[in-house]
């Protein structure tokens, strides 16, 4: 073909390549709060003032709980997260995460379970019931964007987090914390998942829980494995800056699509006195 005929033939391809400058998977961002820094995501409290309100144990579907929410309405609605404790764990065992995450710009419900002995799949149902309560019936429902929700949980609550994600793929983020579940096959999950393991966990050893969970999630999924150096099964039961920092980054990156937080996730954090292993599918969102 002559060049003067080839050039017009190339124009559509050139135009498409220019359109292609916009990432094919660009998603709407829901930025809330100022640009983050390492110190802002490590802080005990983030930029939003928060309030809380309790949910009666007589509610249907879960054992009640506490809602923590940013008091500001000037930036519109927020994404929301439900958090479950583990086997024999009261709500108080995960309470520290409520105001810590809410103060970064999320509505958070920390739940009590119907029974202290509920198994992981029951905790999954209860996490989803808590999200439905939050978005449909709670006093703060008008503050929430019901299409941008996530789940977290400790131990059997982490197992419930994996199951809730499997059951409700419309969730935007999941964070199982030193999770425990008999099921090690999560290949049908489609929710971006940060698996947090503790190196010295003897209740849910990473070799038989968190690492198999992470490995079984699809290789095409946005996923990461954060292993807390020298930590026990109960690390998620008290204030822990490494858990908070990476959880906040994950929730912001995937519930808010806020790419300002990608810097904390990719490239992968190096091993350190706090992190004994970190695996991921960086870069995220492609």
276 forms part of the interface with Zn ion (CB under 5 A): yes
Non-local CB neighbours of 279 within 8 Å, separated by 6+ positions: 214, 224, 225, 268
* Tokens 């190339």, located at residue: 10
* Contacting ligand 9J3 within 131-160 (CB under 6 A): 155-156
d(CA 168, CA 145): 16
CB 51 within 8 A of CB 118: no
What tokens does 87 get? 């086997």
Q: Please identify which of the residues 118, 121, 201, 222 carries the catalytic annotation.
A: 201
d(CA 17, CA 122): 49
Instruction: Give whichever of 109 and 204 is closer to ligand 9J3, judged by the CB atom.
Output: 204
Instruction: Give whichever of 122 and 276 is closer to Zn ion, judged by the CB atom.
Output: 276
Non-local CB neighbours of 2 within 8 Å, separated by 6+ positions: none
Query: In sequence order, which ranges of 69-209 are alpha helices (DSSP H)?
Result: 97-102, 120-136, 156-167
Helix (H, G, I), strand (E, B), or coil: what is residue 69? strand
Q: Which of 203, 221, 275, 282 binds ligand 9J3 (CB under 6 A)?
A: 203
Partner touching 156 among Zn ion, ligand 9J3, none, CB below 5 to 8 Å by kind: ligand 9J3
Q: Which of 131, 198, 207 is nearest to 165 (CA)?
A: 131
CB 79 within 8 A of CB 30: yes
d(CA 55, CA 138): 8
Question: Min. distance of Cβ 277 from Zn ion in angstroms?
Answer: 9
Q: Which of 216, 229, 232, 259 binds Zn ion (CB under 5 A)?
A: 229
Number of residues that bind Zn ion (CB under 5 A): 4
Instruction: Give whichever of 180 and 246 is closer to ligand 9J3, judged by the CB atom.
Output: 180
Question: Min. distance of Cβ 271 from ligand 9J3 in angstroms?
Answer: 26
Residue 54 CA, chain-centre distance (Å), reads 22
- What does the per-residue mask of binding to Zn ion show for 180-209, with x meaning CB under 5 A? -------------------x----------
Question: Min. distance of Cβ 274 from Zn ion in angstroms?
Answer: 10
- Would you call 233 a catalytic residue per the annotation? yes
Pairing of strands 65-70, 106-111: antiparallel
Question: Min. distance of Cβ 271 from Zn ion in angstroms?
Answer: 9
Piece of the chain touching Zn ion by CB under 5 A; list 27-35, 121-129, 212-220, 227-235:
227-235
162 forms part of the interface with ligand 9J3 (CB under 6 A): no
Number of residues that bind ligand 9J3 (CB under 6 A): 7
Question: Min. distance of Cβ 60 from ligand 9J3 in angstroms?
Answer: 23
* Tokens 């039961």, located at residue: 237
Q: State the DSSP H helix or E strand holding residue 279, giving kind and residue range, or none if neither.
A: strand 275-280
Instruction: Give whichever of 223 and 233 is closer to ligand 9J3, judged by the CB atom.
Output: 233
- Would you call 201 a catalytic residue per the annotation? yes
Active site residues: 155, 201, 233
Instruction: Enumerate binding residues for ligand 9J3 (CB under 6 A).
Output: 86-87, 155-156, 180, 203-204
Instruction: Enumerate binding residues for Zn ion (CB under 5 A).
Output: 199, 229-230, 276
């Amino acid at each position: 073909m002559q060049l003067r005929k080839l050039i017009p033939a190339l124009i559509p391809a050139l135009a498409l390549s220019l359109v292609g400058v916009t990432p094919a998977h660009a998603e709407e961002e829901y930025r809330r709060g100022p640009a983050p820094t390492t110190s802002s995501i490590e802080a005990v409290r983030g930029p939003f003032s928060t309030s809380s309100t309790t949910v009666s144990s007589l509610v249907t579907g879960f054992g009640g709980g506490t809602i923590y929410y940013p008091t500001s309405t000037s930036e519109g609605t927020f994404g929301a997260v439900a958090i479950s404790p583990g086997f024999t764990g009261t709500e108080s065992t995960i309470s520290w995460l409520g105001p810590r995450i809410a103060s970064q710009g999320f509505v958070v419900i920390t739940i009590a379970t119907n029974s202290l002995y509920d198994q992981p799949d029951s905790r999954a149902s209860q996490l989803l019931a808590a999200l439905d309560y939050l978005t449909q019936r709670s006093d703060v429902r008008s503050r929430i964007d019901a299409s941008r929700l996530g789940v977290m949980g400790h131990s059997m609550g982490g197992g419930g987090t994996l199951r809730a994600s499997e059951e409700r793929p419309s969730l935007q983020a999941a964070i199982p914390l030193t999770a425990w579940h008999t099921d090690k096959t999560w290949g049908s999950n489609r929710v971006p998942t940060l698996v947090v393991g503790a190196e010295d966990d003897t209740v849910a050893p990473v070799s038989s829980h968190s690492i198999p969970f992470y490995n079984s999630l699809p290789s095409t999924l946005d996923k990461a494995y954060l292993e807390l150096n020298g930590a026990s099964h109960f690390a998620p039961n008290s204030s822990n800056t490494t858990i908070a920092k990476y959880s906040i980054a994950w929730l912001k990156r995937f519930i808010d699509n806020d790419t300002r937080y990608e810097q904390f996730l990719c490239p992968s954090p190096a091993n350190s006195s706090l992190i004994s292993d970190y695996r991921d599918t960086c870069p995220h969102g492609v």
